[in-house]
Amino acid sequence: MEALASQRNHIRFLLLMEISWQMWKTDKPFIASKKVFSFLKKLLVAKKIPVSKHEINSIIKDSSCFQIDPNGNLLFVNHYFSDYFLAKRLYLTLCKQKETSIQKLLNTRLYNNNILYFLAMLDQKTNRIEVPLQKILQGEYLNNITENALHIYYTTSQLKNSFPKNSTMEHLNNGKNITQFNVTQHLDFSLEVKNNTIHTKGTSTYTDKSRADHFFQQGLELLKEKRYFEAMAPFFTAKSLDPDCFKAYNNLSIIFKNLGSFSIAKQIVQNVLLEDPNNARAKDHLRILETIDKQRKQLEYQKG
């Protein structure tokens, strides 16, 4: 049973990457259900899973990071899902170094900074995307492909160089870390350590919510060890499996805040509050981020 659940999770992950790619390629914020149905049918056949309309509909329906509009089109509930899973597909494709697959993904318009930010973080410790990109740049000029390779190579290199070396915030000129300033209380985020909205394997059925708990706990352990880049994927996956898993998003805001990416941390917190206006932890995080932002501006003013 767990093997089947794991296989379905893998299929769902492939589905998320495929849909994010199709949306990017068509420059549309949605994808027609019939295209998703066709992709899943081929995938299930390849994985030797019995193909039925019920099975396909079940996988689409269970991918709870989607909304379905009145016309039957699928939309991501948040654009960060699309950006992240497209970056993940780019990363995995570049790592495999298959020329035709890489060229397929690069033969498009220039990728935006959100996608490349995620790509840079995925490659921060491995540096595996440089070689295939360099190979393209050293070869014959190919319209779109060469331009995108150069854009990705330059932007991700700049982003990785800008990341704090220890994956935490760098100290400012006055020798103090901005998260250690005291205003009304200690300016640090509170870790979400338990997701009370979801079930566990002890229940009679092993649901998407219980699978989300598995990924949430995986992300939590990595976050406790300050392995910020590695903790992202489990939290994104937990939220995609369980749309009520706001604690995964609150922990993602911790990751981005500790990486010094205050704007993304703030946007994630604001997204939580849009879905759950009374989320106390998100409110605390937003207040802290706004206070940090004011202090940073004061320090910049004093320096200038």
**pLDDT 10s digits, 112-127:** 988 998 899 889 888 9
Q: What per-residue confidence (pLDDT) applies to 171?
A: 32
Fold of 2-77: Arc Repressor Mutant, subunit A (1.10.10)
Q: What superfamily in CATH does domain 178-303 come from?
A: Tetratricopeptide repeat domain (1.25.40.10)
Residue 182 has what DSSP assignment?
A: B
Q: What are the residues facing 32 on neighbouring strands?
A: 73
Would you kindly state where each structural domain of the chain is located, as residue ranges? 2-77, 80-162, 178-303
Q: Which residues contact 299 (CB under 8 A, 6 or more apart)?
A: 172, 173, 174, 178
Question: CA torsion 6→10→11→16, rounded to 10°?
Answer: 140
In terms of Cβ atoms closer than 10 Å to its own Cβ (0-12, 13-18, 19+), residue 217 is: middle
In terms of Cβ atoms closer than 10 Å to its own Cβ (0-12, 13-18, 19+), residue 158 is: exposed
170 versus 26: the higher-pLDDT residue is 26
Q: Is the pLDDT of residue 261 over 60?
A: yes
Residue 111 has what DSSP assignment?
A: P
Q: For residue 235, which amino acid is it?
A: F
Rounded Cα–Cα distance for residues 228 and 165 (Å): 12
In the chain, the percentage of residues whose pLDDT exceeds 90 is 24
Rounded Cα–Cα distance for residues 24 and 102 (Å): 15
SS3 (DSSP) at 31: strand
Among candidate residues 43, 45, 56, 34, the one with its CA nearest the CA of residue 14: 43
Q: Six-digit token pair at 27?
A: 């420059």
Q: Full-prediction pTM beyond 0.85?
A: no
Q: Is the pLDDT of residue 72 over 90?
A: no
Q: For residue 36, which amino acid is it?
A: V
Q: How confident is the model at residue 65 (pLDDT cuts 50, 70, 90)?
A: low
258 versus 280: the higher-pLDDT residue is 280
Mean pLDDT of 252-266: 82
